[in-house]
A and B are shown apart, each in its own frame.
Chain A
Amino acid sequence: MKRTTRIVAITLAASAGAAALAGGLFVYSGVYDVSATEQHTALVYRMLDTTMRRSIKLRTVDVDVPPLDDDERVLRGFRQFRAHCVQCHGAPGIAPEGFALGLTPAPAALVATARERPVAEIYWVISKGIKMSGMPAWRYRMSDQEMWDVVAFMNVLPTLSPVDYAALDRRHAADVPPPAAQAATSATGEERGDIAAGRKAMQQYVCVTCHVIPGVVGASEHVGPSLAGIASRRYIAGVLPNTPDNMLRWLQNPPGVDPLTAMPDLGVSEQDARDMAAYLYTLE
């Protein structure tokens, strides 16, 4: 009995070791093709698609849906759609722009999405985006109201013929577009900074592509200085005394503080800036 147990244990350990080794070799050898021109195999595609669908479903059980049947709301949604969605997703009779045609996974035709997906799921995807796809999280650039406007328009979208859509497009061609991708929302709605929300915002305002930020995965570049120890740093960017107010000022408009800086204005909302500052001040 004891011997059998040992044989089983050693066999299992050896198999696990071999599997880990094979996995490591697969990753390290570079045989996996990351190019956007190579579609996943049918099996992998199915697995990823199912993972996505189940994940969205699990997270949308208690979303409160506001009334969407309102012409004004639909029109507002159309303006957003025209400004931010059609470029990648296209519309009836309108192809996505060239850059979007090269995306893998390909952006969904929203007519199909509207016909197949529940309303709460559509709202959730607009708000949160989808990791490892081209779909961004809009909650940092649109208010809740604006995102529901888009959902309201998507509810109408499948009823429009290409001719209808083109007519709508023409009729509103001169409309003032909604402010482009600007932070209109507060991610948490709280006055005081929320550390966890701040850490998320570090991804959403692409801080991670230029700064090393302890505790944030993927933040490993030295374009700007490392933010390790920023809580005890005396100056922000070498120009402002490091006070919470100055930190908010800097995060929301770096070129406004120092016109020479390479750090751009990323359109950070006041609340998001508070959250980010709260996180940064944990980095002693």
Chain B
Amino acid sequence: MTRTQQVRHSMKPLTAARERGTAAAVNARFARITWVCGTSMLALLIGCEKVAEPLRSRAQTELLSQADALRGQEVINRYGCVACHTIPGVRGPASNVGPPLANMASRAYVAGILPNTPEDMVRWLRDPPAVDPRTAMPNMGLTEKEAKDVAAYLYTLD
């Protein structure tokens, strides 16, 4: 439904009131005008809004330029990451051993210890205990290329 159709649709009962020819028709017309003016002004406001870049926007690097999110999804399947993590877009047992990886793209830290940059994400994915000896996450033996693909997939999770 387009926006105009939505407005029309919601106006149906009022239109019916007008057709009955009561004094309410005036009010109905008034309400309709108010509604239409209001929505169009709001639409204008939304339309005009320019989104300014944040001070420190998410890191964009060459690192993942060759990486492929779809391949990453396949790697995630193959390594059974879902045995511990719930990952949107990857079917699994809704496991809650490690934290869910939803919003991984917006997360400020990887594992609560590394700034969430592609470099650090890949470093973490390749060998978590090398980064934090206390972590429960094992080294799964991902290759550099696999880690990059997985990172690319995780960065689709806003």
Contacts and interface: CB of A to CB of B under 8 A. Distances in A.
Asked if A and B are interacting partners, one says yes
Contact of B42 (A18, A28, A232, A260): A28
Contacts of B137: 238
Given A222-B106, A223-B108, A10 B98 contact: no
Nearest to B38: A21
B97 interface: yes
Contacts of B98: 233-235, 238
Interface in B98-140: 98-100, 102-103, 106-109, 111-113, 131-132, 134-137
A174 interface: no
A13 B112 contact: no
Interface stretch (B26-34, B60-68, B69-77, B146-154): B26-34
B113 A6 contact: no
Interface of A: 3, 6-7, 10-11, 13-14, 17-18, 21, 24-25, 28-29, 210, 212, 221-226, 228-229, 232-235, 237-239, 257-258, 260-263
Contacts of B42: 24-25, 28
A225 B99 contact: yes
Nearest to B132: A260
Contacts of A239: 132, 134-136
> Which 7 pairs, one residue from A and one from B, show the smallest C-beta to C-beta distance?
A234-B97, A223-B108, A225-B99, A222-B106, A10-B27, A260-B113, A21-B38
Given A18-B34, A224-B112, A233 B96 contact: yes
Interface residues of B, number: 35
- Chief secondary structure at chain A's binding surface: loop
A258 B113 contact: yes
Contacts of A229: 96, 100
A10 B99 contact: no
A70 B109 CA distance: 51
Contacts of A258: 112-113, 132, 134
13 contacts: A13-B31, A21-B38, A24-B42, A210-B108, A212-B103, A221-B108, A222-B103, A226-B103, A228-B100, A234-B98, A238-B135, A238-B137, A260-B132
Contacts of A226: 99-100, 102-103
Nearest to B104: A222
B97 A233 contact: yes
Contacts of A7: 23-24, 27
